[in-house]
A and B are shown apart, each in its own frame.
Chain A
Amino acid sequence: MRRLGWYAGSAVILLVAAVPVLWILSLSLKSPATVTDKRLWPSDPTLANYRSIAGSALFTHALLNSVGIGLITTVLAVVLATPAAYALTRLQFRGKALVLPLTLAIAVFPPVAIVGPLFDLWRALRLYDTWPGLVIPYLSFSVPLAMWTLAAAFRGVPWEMAEAAQADGATPWQSFRRVVLPLARPGMITAAILVFFFAWNDFVFAISLTSSDRSRTVPAALAFFPGDAQFAQPVGSIAAAAVVVTVPVLVAALVFQRRLVAGLTAGVVTR
C-alpha cells in the first residue's frame, strides 16, 4: 500500500515536471499549419523551426553572447570568491563580522533596484550594450552566491590534512594549493555551475542594459523575437529557441546531478 502510494506520487511528480517541457518540444516540431492542432504528439514533425533560428543572426548572436558573458562571469566570480570564502571559514580577522551582512545584503537586493543607475552610468561610461555592461552587474549577484556555496564547501574540508602538510614543512600556500584546493574542487565546480545558471537565466539586466545583437543574451532575444506576421508571436521559432537554450543546461544539470543537489543544500544543512 505504502509502495503503491510512493509510485503514484512519483508518477505525478514526473508528469508535472515533464509535461510543460514536452509541450515546448512538441510546439517546436510543428509546422505553422499544425501548430494550433492542440496535439501533444506532432502529427507532421518538422525541423523547419530549428533551421529558421539557426539561420537568424539575431538568435545565433544571442547564443554566443549568452555563452561568452556567462563564462566570463563564472570565471571572475569563482576566482574572486574562492580566497574570500577560504578566509571567512578558516581565519579570524577584524571586520569579518561585517563581510557576511554585506554579502547577504547584496544577495537580497532586487535587481531592478540598480537598473536605473546602471542605465545612467553605462551611457556615460559607454558600457551600454556591451559584454562588460552585463558581466559587471552579474558579478553583484554571482560573487555572493559563489562565496556562499564555496564557504559551505570549505566547511566540509578536513583541515587536519592541511595542518599535517604544514607540520611536514609545507608553506601555508603549498598546503592550500596541494591539499585544500583539490578537496574543495567539487564545491568549486558546483559554485561555477550555479553562477553560470544565474547568468544564463538573467532577464532584467539583459533587457534593460542592451539594445542590439551585440550583447543581447538569449532570454532577452526570446522576449523580443520579431513575429513573421504582425501581432502574431512566432510560436514555432520561440519554442525551437527555447529548446536550444534549455538542452545544454539540462544536460549539465543531469550530468552534475548529485553534485548540484549537494551544493544547493550544503549551505542549508548545518549539522
Chain B
Amino acid sequence: MTEAPPQPPRTRRKRRPRAGRRTAWLLTAPAVVVMLAVGAYPVGYAIWLSLQRYDLRFPSQRGFVGLGNYAAVLGARVFWTDLGATAVITAIAVTAELVLGFAIALTLRRGLAGRRAVHAALLLPYGIITVVAAFAWQYAATPDLSFLSGRAWLGERWSSFAVVIATEVWKTTPLAALLLLAGLAAVPEELMDTAKMDGATAWQRFRRVMLPGIRPVLLVVLLYRTLDSVRVFDTVFIQTNGANGTETVSLLAYDQLAGRLNLGLGSAVSVLLFLLSAAIALGFVWVFRADLRELYRPRPVEPDEPDPEDVW
C-alpha cells in the first residue's frame, strides 16, 4: 500500500467550486427569476400583442396581423412628428445637462466654506418628484401665476419646448453634476499640477489629463441621461399633454394604450421605443468599447485610497 497524499485535496478542490457554483446560483436565482417574470415576460408579451389587431373596444376583431401594426405606425405622420419632438427634447436637454453639470462640478471642485449648503441645494431638485417639478415650472410659465413674466409660455410650440426642457434640465442637472464631481475627484491633482509645470495650457490640461480621467463617468452620465430623455413622459403629460406639437413617443404609446385602448397599435409603438432605447445602449457600449463588467469586479484595496465619502 502506497500512500496517495494528493488524493484528498484534489477531491476537495474539485468539490469546492461546484458547491460554490450552486450557492452562487441559489443566491442569484430569486432576483433573476423576478426580473424575468416582471420585466422580460411583459416585454415578450408586448411584442406578442404588437403582432395582433387588438382593440379593447372591439375585442371580437382580435386577430394576428403580423407586422401590420408596425407598418401602420411607421406609415403614420404622427409617429415621425413625435419622434422629432422626442429628439429635440433629448438633444437639447442632454447637451445642456452635460455642459451645466460640468460647470457646476468644476465650481464645486474648488470648494470653499459653505459647499455643504451647495451640495444640499443640489439634492433639492433631485429629491422632488418629477410631477411636482412639472407643476412648479408650469405655474412659473403661466401668466396669472408667474412671478417671471406675463407671457403664456405654454401657448405655442417652441416656448412649450423651452418650458419642458427647462424642467428636465433643472431636475436632472444636479445628478449629472454630482456624478461628474465624483469623476473629477478621481483625476489625480498631482497630474494636473505636473502638466501645468510642464507648460501645458488650460485647454491642453483639459483635453489630455482631465477628459481621459473622467471619460468613464462622462459615458455613464451621457448614456443614462439619453435613455431617460428618450422616454420622457411625466413633464410633457403634466405641462402640455402633447399640445402644440410637443407630443413624445412615450405619450403616443400611452395615448394608444390607455386612451384609445388599442393594445395592438400601442404595443407596436412601445416596442419601437424599446428597440430605440436598446439600440442607443448597444451603440454606446460598442462605440466607446465600454466594459460594463468592470462595475461588478472586486476592487483592489489600496491602503491610501481616499474614503469615497471624503470626496466631498
User: Are A and B subunits of one complex?
Assistant: yes
- A interface with B by C-beta (< 8 Å): 2-3, 6-7, 9-10, 13-14, 16-18, 20-21, 23-24, 27, 35-36, 38-40, 80-81, 83-84, 86-97, 99-100, 102-106, 108-121, 136-137, 139-140, 143-144, 147-148, 151-152, 155-156, 158-160, 172, 197, 200-201, 203-204, 207-208, 218-219, 222-223, 235, 238-239, 242, 245-246, 249-250, 252-254, 257-262, 264-271
Interchain nearest-CB distance for B187 vs A (Å):
10
Bound complex: CA of A239 vs CA of B292, how far in Å? 42
* Inter-subunit contact A117/B25 (CB<8 Å): no
A17-B122, A114-B46, A265-B181 known; 15 other A-B pairs, CB under 8 Å? A6-B107, A9-B107, A20-B140, A20-B170, A24-B132, A91-B23, A92-B24, A96-B24, A108-B277, A113-B46, A120-B45, A159-B298, A203-B131, A261-B182, A268-B217
A238 and chain B: residue at smallest CB distance: B135
Q: List 10 A-B contacts (CB under 8 A).
A: A13-B118, A14-B121, A93-B28, A116-B257, A152-B295, A253-B126, A264-B179, A268-B182, A269-B182, A270-B216
Contacts of B30 in A (CB 8 A): 80, 83-84
Q: Are A266 and B308 in contact (CB under 8 A)?
A: yes
B293: Cβ under 8 A from any A Cβ: yes
| Residue in B closest to A117 when the chains form the complex, CB atoms | B45
**Chain B hits for A120, CB < 8 A:** 45, 49, 263
Q: Complex: how many Å from CA A159 to CA B140? A: 52
A218 contacts across to B, CB distance below 8 A: 129
Cα-based distance from A208 to B115 in the complex (angstroms): 41
Chain B residues with Cβ below 8 Å from A100 are: 292-293, 296
Q: Is the interface of B mostly helix, strand, loop or mixed?
A: helix
Across chains A and B, the number of contacting residue pairs, with CB separation under 8 Å, is: 329
Give chain A nearest CB distance to B183 CB in angstroms.
6
> B190 at interface (Cβ–Cβ under 8 A)?
no
Contact between B124 and A245 (Cβ–Cβ < 8 Å)? no
- Asked whether, in the complex, the Cβ of B42 is within 8 Å of the Cβ of A114, the reply is yes
A110-B250 CB under 8 A given contacts A24-B139, A208-B258 = yes
CB A18 to nearest CB in B, in angstroms, measures 6
Partner of A84 from the list B28, B128, B140, B230 (CB cut-off 8 Å) is B28
- Determine the chain B residues whose CB is within 8 A of the CB of A114 once the complex forms: 39, 42-43, 45-46, 270
Measured CA separation A57–B267 after assembly (Å): 34
| B144-155 contact mask (Cβ, 8 Å, vs A): 1 or 0 | 111100000000
Q: Is the CB of A23 within 8 A of B139?
A: yes
Count of chain B residues near A, Cβ 8 A: 106
Q: Does B79 contact A (CB under 8 A)?
A: no
Cβ-based interface call for B120 (8 A): yes
- Against A, the Cβ 8 Å flags (1 = close, 0 = not) of B92-114 are 00000000000110011011101
Given contact pairs A23-B140, A115-B254, A140-B35, A110 touches B179 in the complex (Cβ within 8 A): no
Closest residue on chain A to residue B50 by CB atoms: A116
Segment at the A interface, from B5-13, B195-203, B204-212, B231-239: B231-239
- Contact between chains at B298 and A18 (CB < 8 Å): no
Among the listed A109, A121, A223, which residue makes an inter-chain contact with B274, where contact means beta carbons less than 8 Å apart?
A109
What CA separation (Å) do A20 and B45 show in the bound complex?
Answer: 41
Are the CB atoms of B107 and A10 closer together than 8 Å? yes
The answer on a CB contact under 8 Å between B136 and A21 is yes
